[in-house]
Amino acid sequence: MIEVRIHGRGGQGAVTSAELMALAAIATGKYAQAFPSFGPERRGAPVMAFLRISDEPVRTREKIYNPNLVVVLDAGLIPISNVEAGIADDGIVIVNTPMSPAELKKNFNLKSRVATVDATSIAREILKVPITNTTMMGSIVRVSQVVPLESLEKPIMERFGSSLGEKNFAACKKAYEVTILEE
């Protein structure tokens, strides 16, 4: 089983990306669950979403305490949220940033293995808005290989419609191609 914790801000789509990843996994014959963790936060406040994907039925319903992957939609959350909390020993932190993995680790004193992608630039280029949730899904797939990239197309198209769906999937594919995983 792979367990993912997504850190974002209210309105960035952390919950949507977890749900779409779960739908893609289910469509490929896997078992999945996605759920949010937030209270009465407002737009822009830190939020988390969780995702489990497994080849076997997922029986646990609790919050994810030891994720294999941590996804950070906004690098500005790193100084105010302990994004590495509980991460598995072989876990990877995927961050939306123009920095290289080495720069990110140095600037934020991260100890885990990291992957970086400038999802904001990709989203601005393709979607014309800095909303990075579907873009970061490409990075999740690149790093984890938990589902085929193509399995994301149908849930994205169904969620956003044909025109916006095509752009979101294009952003997802671009992020998949340019994500840099620390060796």
* Extents of the domains making up the chain: 2-181
Q: What is the pLDDT of residues 5-46, one digit of tens each?
A: 999 998 889 999 999 999 999 999 999 999 988 666 567 788
| Packed helices 153-160 and 14-27: angle between N→C axes, nearest 10 degrees | 130
The phi and psi torsions of 97 (rounded to 5 degrees) equal -165, 150
Amino acid at 107: N
- Cα distance between residue 31 and residue 24, in whole Å: 10
Instruction: Quote the pTM value.
Output: 0.94
Please choose, from the candidates 112, 110, 120, 102, the residue with its C-alpha nearest in 3D space to the C-alpha of residue 178.
120
Domain 2-181 homologous superfamily, CATH: Pyruvate-ferredoxin oxidoreductase, PFOR, domain III (3.40.920.10)
